[in-house]
């Protein structure tokens, strides 16, 4: 325990060195804080460091899925494709880290295992560890920023016998850094969400045989990826500042072509034309063809039926096509996937789809997977089973607040935050893209820059007034989370049994976590709170 009044080791500790931690370090260091970033991986990059599976790409176009805070970087970096690959995004984040000489303040290969708040001194003590030794280090800071990632806590399925498998096995979010040779192998992929849908077409090209185990079919639209068209590049170079500003006035932090009319207000022919055009252009822009696709079930069905028809046209075997066709939930209510040849991959002779709704997996055993009707022997078993989203990377750390209670306990009925940025009884702890913020329902680089700037501005304000403590009030977070829920209830998002609701993790409370009011509205609300002297927060 520190003696009264002794200075903490650092002003700010940031946990995580993905897009968020990298920018936070630059921003807070520029503002004169002594900052240390602690990162479990051996490099910057976050999800782009960990997700080295074949086919990993962003699904927001790279020109927009990139930092805006430094115009020189924005000008110098040239993306090669509309949707950059994982290695290119990783190089980009490293390029930014090198430009600002950030790595000297990042402690790599180190995991924060616990964090406890000392109310007498208003500071955090963190215990860290690493995989190489049992040594645990202790470090203190006045402020802690959780840049631990909304999608960084990988989730394994609840299947008996996972440890019995004798072959190679891993999660897509922990793809072996040395690579895996799949040539000549029989490979099983469990899961067909965003990561599975990206990886499956690439794995199919490498493996002798690929078995895809699917529980829920997902809606996917084609990326239509390729080089960035010259006229887009020129427009971006010419109007960069105006376009970056325009991004901030959108609902999702992405410049889509947002349709202004109802899907039900136009003729069938016109609607079909519109969907065909968007399908041909590619990307999630498809979902924004009309303003009620995510609000009205009939409007939604028009878009869902269009994709279902596409699946039937692409997939030659009608039984496989049927199994791949999503039914029973609205398009967009589960995260829509963006693919390159996902559906067409099932026309390959070396690819088989196994519906675990029809033939459930009974267990994993030494040689492979046993379903209700047969044994599948495989050499490599890949889990593309997603993440304990938004809360997992936080609750996996033993975080103790001012009353000694853990965050896990405090959030046992679901996460509570004010603006997604702070939670009551955990003073001086900020969260980036936390539950209750637009987070995973936005262009996350846009949200990350916003949250980091709000945190930086708040710390500057506290420094100016000589405060050493800030925390969200219980009342403010109750009101905010009620608002988050009401917004979600007015949409179709509530009808998908999705990870937005925690539905993919057994026992996780069903609380809709991302804020759906729009990036533009959210950022205005956060600015208003700061401008009005932080109502909903106690400052001391």
Residue 352: helix, strand or coil by DSSP?
strand
Least distance (Å) from ligand FAD to the CB of residue 408? Answer: 13
Least distance (Å) from ligand FAD to the CB of residue 85? Answer: 11
Q: Which of 64, 63, 58, 55 is nearest to 197 (CA)?
A: 55
Q: Which of 54, 53, 50 is nearest to 39 (CA)?
A: 50
Q: Where are the beta strands (DSSP E) in 54-147?
A: 106-107, 111-118, 123-130, 133-146
CB of 56 or CB of 96, closer to ligand FAD? 56
Residue 124 DSSP one-character state: E
CB of 18 or CB of 496, closer to ligand FAD? 18
* Bridging pattern class, strands 209-214 and 186-190: parallel
Least distance (Å) from ligand FAD to the CB of residue 212? Answer: 18
Least distance (Å) from ligand FAD to the CB of residue 442? Answer: 7
Least distance (Å) from ligand FAD to the CB of residue 476? Answer: 24
The whole-angstrom separation of Cα 369 and Cα 89 is: 34
CB of 121 or CB of 195, closer to ligand FAD? 195
The whole-angstrom separation of Cα 75 and Cα 71 is: 6
CB of 165 or CB of 522, closer to ligand FAD? 522
Do residues 34 and 151 make contact, with C-beta atoms less than 8 angstroms apart? Answer: no
Least distance (Å) from ligand FAD to the CB of residue 347? Answer: 25
CB of 146 or CB of 212, closer to ligand FAD? 146
For residue 353, how far is the Cα from the chain centroid? Answer: 27
The whole-angstrom separation of Cα 430 and Cα 452 is: 9
CB of 39 or CB of 105, closer to ligand FAD? 39
CB of 211 or CB of 338, closer to ligand FAD? 338
Query: Which residues touch 123 (CB under 8 Å, ≥6 apart)?
Result: 2, 8, 117, 140, 141, 142, 428
Note the residues at the interface with ligand FAD (CB under 6 A).
15-21, 38-41, 46-47, 49, 51, 56, 58-60, 65, 111-112, 147-152, 195, 393, 397, 432-433, 443-444, 448
Least distance (Å) from ligand FAD to the CB of residue 439? Answer: 9
The whole-angstrom separation of Cα 125 and Cα 144 is: 10
Least distance (Å) from ligand FAD to the CB of residue 48? Answer: 6
The whole-angstrom separation of Cα 482 and Cα 490 is: 13
CA distances from 136 to 110, 151, 237, 411, 495 (A): 10, 26, 48, 27, 45
CB of 320 or CB of 523, closer to ligand FAD? 523
For residue 144, how far is the Cα from the chain centroid? Answer: 21
The whole-angstrom separation of Cα 277 and Cα 453 is: 38
């Amino acid at each position: 325990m520190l003696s009264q009044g002794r200075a903490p080791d650092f002003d700010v500790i940031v946990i995580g060195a993905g897009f968020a931690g990298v920018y936070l370090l630059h921003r807070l260091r520029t503002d004169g804080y002594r900052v240390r970033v602690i990162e479990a991986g051996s490099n910057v990059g976050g999800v782009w460091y960990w997700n080295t599976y074949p086919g990993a790409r962003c699904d927001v176009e790279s020109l927009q899925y990139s930092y805006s805070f430094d115009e020189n970087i924005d000008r110098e970096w040239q993306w090669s494709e509309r949707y950059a690959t994982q290695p290119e995004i990783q190089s980009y984040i490293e390029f930014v880290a090198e430009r600002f000489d950030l790595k000297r303040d990042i402690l790599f290969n180190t995991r924060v295992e616990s964090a406890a708040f000392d109310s007498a001194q208003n500071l955090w003590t963190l215990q860290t560890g690493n995989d190489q030794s049992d040594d645990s280090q202790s470090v203190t800071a006045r402020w802690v920023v959780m840049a631990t990632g909304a999608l960084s806590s990988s989730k394994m399925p609840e299947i008996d016998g996972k440890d019995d498998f004798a072959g190679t096995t891993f999660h897509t979010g922990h793809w072996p850094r040395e690579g895996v040779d799949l040539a000549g192998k029989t490979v099983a992929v469990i899961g067909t969400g965003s990561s599975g849908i990206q990886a499956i077409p690439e794995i199919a090209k490498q493996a002798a045989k690929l078995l895809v185990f699917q529980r829920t079919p997902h809606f996917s639209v084609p990326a239509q990826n390729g080089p960035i068209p010259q006229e887009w590049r020129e427009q971006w170079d010419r109007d960069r500042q105006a376009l970056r500003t325009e991004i901030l006035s959108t609902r999702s932090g992405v410049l889509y072509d947002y349709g202004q009319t109802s899907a039900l207000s136009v003729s069938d022919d016109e609607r079909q034309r519109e969907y065909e055009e968007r399908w041909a252009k590619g990307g999630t822009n498809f979902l924004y063809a009309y303003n009620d696709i995510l609000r009205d079930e009939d409007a939604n069905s028009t878009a869902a039926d269009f994709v279902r028809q596409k699946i039937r046209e692409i997939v030659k075997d009608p039984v496989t096509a049927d199994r791949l066709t999503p039914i029973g939930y609205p398009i967009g209510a589960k995260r829509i996937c963006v693919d390159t040849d996902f559906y067409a991959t099932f026309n390959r002779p070396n690819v088989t789809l196994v519906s675990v709704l029809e033939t459930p997996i009974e267990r994993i055993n030494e040689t492979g997977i046993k379903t209700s009707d047969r044994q599948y022997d495989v050499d490599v078993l890949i889990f593309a089973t997603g993440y304990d989203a938004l809360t997992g990377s936080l609750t996996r750390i033993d975080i103790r607040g001012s009353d000694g209670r853990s965050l896990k306990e405090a959030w046992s009925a679901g996460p509570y935050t004010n603006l997604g940025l702070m939670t009551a009884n955990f003073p001086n702890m900020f969260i980036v893209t936390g539950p209750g913020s637009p987070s995973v329902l936005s262009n996350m680089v846009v949200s990350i820059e916003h949250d980091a700037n709000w945190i930086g501005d708040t710390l500057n304000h506290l420094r100016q007034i000589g405060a050493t403590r800030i925390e969200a009030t219980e009342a403010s977070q109750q009101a905010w989370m009620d608002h988050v829920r009401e917004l979600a209830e007015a949409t179709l998002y509530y009808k998908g049994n999705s990870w937005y609701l925690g539905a993919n993790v057994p026992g996780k409370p069903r609380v809709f976590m991302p804020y759906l009011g729009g990036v533009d509205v959210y950022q205005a609300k956060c600015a208003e709170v700061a401008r009005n002297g932080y109502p909903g927060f106690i400052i001391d």
